[in-house]
Amino acid sequence: MAEPVGTAASGALQDRGTRRPALSPSRAGDFKQCPLLYRFRAVDRLPETPTRAQVRGTVVHSVLERLFGLPIEQRDPEQARALLAPAWAELQEQQPELAGLFDGPDDPELASWLESATALLESYFEMEDPRRLEPEACELRVETELDSGVLLRGFIDRVDVAPTGEIRLVDYKTGAAPREIGEAKAMFQMKFYALVLWRTRGEIPRQLLLMYLASKQRLAYAPDETELRRFERTLEAIWQAILRAGKTGDFRPNPSRLCDYCDHKALCPAFGGTPPPYPGWPEPDPGEESVLDRTD
């Protein structure tokens, strides 16, 4: 996992060794979608096979992070293209099993996959000019504890702070999920980060910006305090429901059309499967996200 670029939010960064039960936007979203999916991922920790589209999203995020680590005048499309191979190589080093996505370095499908990642980067440059921006942080790991004791943890793609102090949170979407499904999920994630930033810095971000690179569309949203307070109560309720299910092991399946994207269908009672014996609530649940969690 890459370290943040730039200055981190005061008090927002925590030691990576910290382990306390925590809620991330991905896991909260899992539980909302299907409690059994949450169990499979967060409690059983069953392995999943990432798709090429997910991995491409991770690589593109990594390139954009590296790009903002360069001196401002060097942030051009050529540099971005040059960063692609090292970003892919580093991801394979971190997760050697990803090399199995292709039949070796000469697989023509690898070349076209890299080409599709390049196209997303080119779209990015059509959407904004990184030479006109100096983000405060990229891939910022944030964490905060709500008054109720719920610990929230996650990564923000980019934090921009205007000279006047207004904060903008930016999230890149590389388009692996269907737009209508992905949008609600993405907004949930962005409200999560807005709440963490607000609780950490005492300031509500002025704007949440989703950048859909494949379609070159931007979706901007201005959160307000009433809404974030309501969202905070929603997260607390989700966490309480997770803890209740965690004690009893009663994580129910909630079938939907999203089951088509579930890696664990074969173990799901809604599809005639049998889950493994409940291993018990993990103590403590680190609430961590993998790099692949953060792609769309």
In the complex, least distance from residue 35 CB atom to ligand SF4, rounded to whole angstroms: 8
State which of residues 270, 278, 286, 290 lies at the interface with ligand SF4 (CB under 6 A): 270
Site track for ligand SF4 across 37-56, x = CB under 6 A: x-------------------
State which of residues 32, 81, 131, 265 lies at the interface with ligand SF4 (CB under 6 A): 265
Does 253 engage in binding with ligand SF4 (CB under 6 A)?
Answer: yes
State which of residues 34, 169, 176, 238 lies at the interface with ligand SF4 (CB under 6 A): 34
Helix residue ranges per DSSP H, the chain: 25-33, 35-38, 52-69, 77-94, 108-127, 179-201, 225-248
- Tokens 């440059």 belong to 125
Judging by beta carbons within 10 Å of its beta carbon (0-12, 13-18, 19+), is residue 52 exposed, middle or buried?
Answer: middle
Does 262 engage in binding with ligand SF4 (CB under 6 A)?
Answer: yes
Binding region for ligand SF4 (CB under 6 A) out of 48-56, 66-74, 212-220, 258-266: 258-266
The first and second tokens of residue 180, run together, are 């209508």
Residue closer to ligand SF4 by CB (options 198, 251) is 251
DSSP, res 254: -
The first and second tokens of residue 194, run together, are 């807005």
Peptide bond before residue 284 is cis, with ω within 30 degrees of 0:
yes
State which of residues 259, 286, 288, 290 lies at the interface with ligand SF4 (CB under 6 A): 259
Binding region for ligand SF4 (CB under 6 A) out of 7-15, 95-103, 261-269, 284-292: 261-269
Which bin fits 152, alpha (ψ -120 to 50), beta or left (φ > 0)?
A: beta
Residue closer to ligand SF4 by CB (options 233, 252) is 252
In the complex, least distance from residue 276 CB atom to ligand SF4, rounded to whole angstroms: 12
In the complex, least distance from residue 255 CB atom to ligand SF4, rounded to whole angstroms: 4
Q: How far apart are CA 254 and CA 261, in angstroms?
A: 13
Taking 3-state DSSP, the helix, strand and coil percentages for the chain, each rounded to the nearest 5, stand at 50, 15, 35
**Contact residues for ligand SF4, defined by CB under 6 A:** 34, 36-37, 253-255, 258-259, 262, 264-265, 268, 270-271
